[in-house]
Amino acid sequence: MIDFYEVIGLVAAFITTASFLPQVFKTYKTKDTSGLSLTMYTTFFVGIVLWLIYGIHLKSLPMILANSITAISSLFLVIMKLKYK
């Protein structure tokens, strides 16, 4: 049986990750990165990777899933920002 707090973590992981994806899709579709801060997304990516490492250490499925998807998404935005300056 899955722990109640694990369910809370999974719901939180889904909501926060899902909230990030529209920016990724919009940027991919329009190729417009003028409103994106390279410094912010680079720093955000590093922070997410550190959260991912921490989640792996704790063996926390919600942290691993959410931070994996968000790390890939934020890296994608950084790459697009550099490509479409």
**Amino acid identity for residue 67 in this structure:** N
Q: What is the pLDDT of residues 17-57, one digit of tens each?
A: 999 899 999 999 999 999 999 999 999 999 999 999 999 99
Whole-prediction pTM: 0.88
Q: What is the 3-state secondary structure (H, E, C) of 27-67?
A: HHHHCCCCCCCHHHHHHHHHHHHHHHHHHHHHCCHHHHHHH
> What is the rounded average pLDDT for all residues in the chain?
94
